[in-house]
A and B are shown apart, each in its own frame.
Chain A
Amino acid sequence: MAIFVDNNSKVVVQGATGHQGVFHIGEMKSFGTKVVAGVTPGKAGQEVHKVPVFNDVSDAVDATGANTSLILVPARFAKDAVFEALDAGIKTVVVITENIPFHDSMEFVHYAKYNDAVLIGPNCPGIASPGKSKIGILPGSIFKEGNVGVASRSGTLTYEIVNSLKEKGLGQSTCVGLGGDPIIGTTFIDALDAFEKDKETKAVVLVGEIGGTAEEESAEHIIEYISKPVFAFIAGRTAPPGKRMGHAGAIIARGKGTAASKIEAFKKADVKLAKFPTDIADLVEQHS
Chain B
Amino acid sequence: MRTHVFAVLLMSSFPSFSQNCDFTLTGIITDLHDGSVLEGATLIVAGSERDVVTDFEGKFIITNLCNDIYSIQVSHPYCLTKGFRVRVTGDTFKSFKLEHHLEELNEITIDGKITNKQSKTLQESNIVQEELERFSSKTLGDALNSLSGVSSLNTGNTVVKPMINGLHSSRVVIINNGARMEDQEWGAEHAPNIDINAVNRLTLVKGAGALQYSGDAMGGVIIVESSKATIKDSLYGKTLVAANSNGKGSLVTSNLTKSYESGWFANFQGSLKRSGDSETPDYVLSNTGENQHNLSVKVGLNRFDYGMNFYYSLFKNEIGILRASHLGSTQDLFRAIQSDLPLVTEDFTYDLSAPKQNVSHQLARLVVFKRVGHGKLSLQYDYQRNDRLEFDIRRGSDKGKASLDLQLQTHRVLLDFDSNLSNNVGLKTGIMGSYQKNYAANTGVRRLIPDYKKYDFGIYAVSDYQLNSNWLFEVGARYDFTHMDVYKFYRTSFWELRNYDVNFPNVVIEELVNQVLTRPQFNYRNTSATFGATYDFGEDYKLFFNYSLASRTPNPSELFSEGLHHSAARVEYGDLGFNSEVGHKLTVTLERINENFSFSINPFINTISDFILIEPVGINNSIRGTFPVWEYRQTNAHFLGIDFNASYVFSDHMSFNNRSSLVKGYDRFRDKPLINMPPVNTMNEIVYYNSKLKNLRLAVQSEYIFRQNKYPDTNFEIYIPQTETIELVDVSTPPDAYHLFNFNSSIDFDFSEKSKLSLGFGISNLFNISYRNYLNRLRFYADDLGRNFLLNIKYNY
A and B associate in one complex? no
Binding site for B on A (CB under 8 A): none
Binding site for A on B (CB under 8 A): none
